[in-house]
Amino acid sequence: MIETTGKRERIVRLNNLSSFTSHEERAWEFGFTVWEVQVPVCKIFFFNELLPNSILKGEGEFMVIGGEYRVRVVPCTV
């Protein structure tokens, strides 16, 4: 984490390649903290609909090139 910009907003530096999902319910299966992030198209390396027979289709996965991103912490609804 680089900076806290609000109660639930942060600026973070991501690794070289990070995985995200477009399904919030799926994201909660992977940890106790879920982020909402807007990624520029030029930073998307792969997404589940890029290839017709992708094995990653069920997870709604996006592979994102690292860098600094503004994220919003999603509150747990359980």
Residue with token string 């289709």: 57
Does residue 58 carry a pLDDT above 70? no
For residue 26, the surrounding DSSP H or E stretch is helix 24-27
Q: How far is CA 40 from CA 33, 43, 58, 70, in A?
A: 22, 6, 23, 11
- pLDDT (tens digit, 9 = 90+) per residue, 31-48? 889 999 999 999 999 887
Does residue 24 carry a pLDDT above 80? yes
pTM flag (> 0.85): no
Determine phi and psi for 28, rounding to 5 degrees.
-65, -20
Looking at residue 75, the DSSP 8-state letter turns out to be: P
Does residue 52 carry a pLDDT above 90? no
Q: 49 or 44: whose pLDDT is higher?
A: 44
Q: 66 or 78: whose pLDDT is higher?
A: 66
Q: Are 39 and 62 in contact (CB under 8 A)?
A: yes
Looking at residue 27, the DSSP 8-state letter turns out to be: H
Q: For the chain, what are the domain ranges?
A: 3-74
